[in-house]
């Protein structure tokens, strides 16, 4: 043992370094939470790794060792958030599936990550190149699952062969975001939650009526 260097010399090769400083448990989780909160509050342009480190109570060196820039951090944070998103069972009838999907989307918008979604829409318009990968991750599991279920409904005859998957997806997703983020901005969340089930049911029935007419 070379005590001055803290390494072990072996007959098979060069010295092997001992274990480095252990990672603090929960570092990534704290960074993700802080990054999503700040993104929702200050937007893309004002977000920085230094600000995330300060909000999370993490040393700047720990942040910069893990992520080279804010885009990489936000992509990982959104991916981690998406991993917790639960999609409705694919075996549900298409009307029930669309209703459950729309309800989950509305609850997400009205929840703690509502500001994040609003900032994401703004960032996608203002910084399309920087934010492209984030948009690919953001809410992707739900959107991709919805597209897959619509395609299955067309194949099984639940929806007409002429149904446009993208148009139907846009009609559901777009209506939820517009209704809860824009047209009713400023209204108490309790009020919006009280009418949530009625709104999503009427939305799905109206969209399906147009598709199947």
Mean pLDDT for the chain overall: 82
Identify the structural domains of the chain with CATH numbers, from first to last.
Answer: 27-81 (1.10.10.60), 88-212 (1.10.357.10)
Per-residue pLDDT tens digits for 27-38: 899 999 999 889
CA distance 84 to 108: 11
What token pair was written down for 32? 């993700």
pLDDT at 25: 55
Predicted local distance difference test score (pLDDT) of residue 13: 46
Cα distances (Å, whole numbers) of residue 40 to 47, 120, 125, 153: 10, 8, 15, 36
Averaged over 7-26, what is the pLDDT?
46
Q: What is the mean pLDDT of residues 9-14?
A: 45
> C-alpha distances in angstroms, 135 versus 78, 89, 156, 209?
9, 24, 31, 30
C-alpha–C-alpha distance, residues 55 and 58, integer Å: 8
Whether 11 has a pLDDT exceeding 50, the answer reads no
Averaged over 179-197, what is the pLDDT?
88
Unique residue bearing structure tokens 């994401």: 120
Integer Cα distance of 178 and 188 in angstroms? 16
Residue 4 has pLDDT above 80, yes or no: no
Segment 134-148, tens digit of pLDDT: 666 655 566 778 889
Give the pLDDT of residue 14. 41
Q: Which residue has the higher pLDDT, 24 or 118?
A: 118
According to the model, what pLDDT value does residue 67 have?
A: 94
Label residue 96 by pLDDT band (50, 70, 90).
Answer: very high
- pLDDT mean over 83-112: 88
């Amino acid at each position: 043992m070379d005590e001055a260097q803290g390494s072990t010399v072996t007959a098979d090769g060069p010295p092997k370094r001992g274990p480095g400083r252990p990672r603090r448990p929960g570092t990534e989780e704290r960074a993700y939470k802080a990054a999503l909160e700040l993104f929702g509050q200050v937007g893309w342009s004002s977000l920085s790794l230094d600000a995330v480190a300060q909000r999370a109570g993490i040393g700047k060196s720990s942040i910069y060792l893990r992520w080279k820039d804010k885009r990489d951090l936000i992509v990982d944070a959104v991916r981690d958030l998406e991993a917790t998103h639960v999609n409705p069972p694919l075996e549900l009838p298409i009307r029930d599936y669309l209703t459950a999907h729309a309800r989950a989307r509305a609850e997400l918008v009205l929840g703690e990550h509502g500001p994040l979604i609003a900032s994401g829409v703004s960032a996608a318009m203002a910084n399309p190149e920087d934010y492209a990968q984030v948009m690919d991750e953001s809410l992707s599991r739900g959107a991709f699952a919805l597209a897959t279920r619509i395609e299955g409904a067309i194949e099984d005859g639940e929806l007409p062969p002429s149904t446009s998957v993208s148009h139907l997806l846009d009609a559901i997703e777009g209506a939820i975001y517009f209704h809860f983020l824009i047209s009713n901005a400023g209204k108490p969340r309790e009020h919006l939650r009280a009418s949530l089930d009625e709104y999503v049911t009427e939305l799905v029935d109206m969209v399906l009526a147009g598709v199947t007419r």
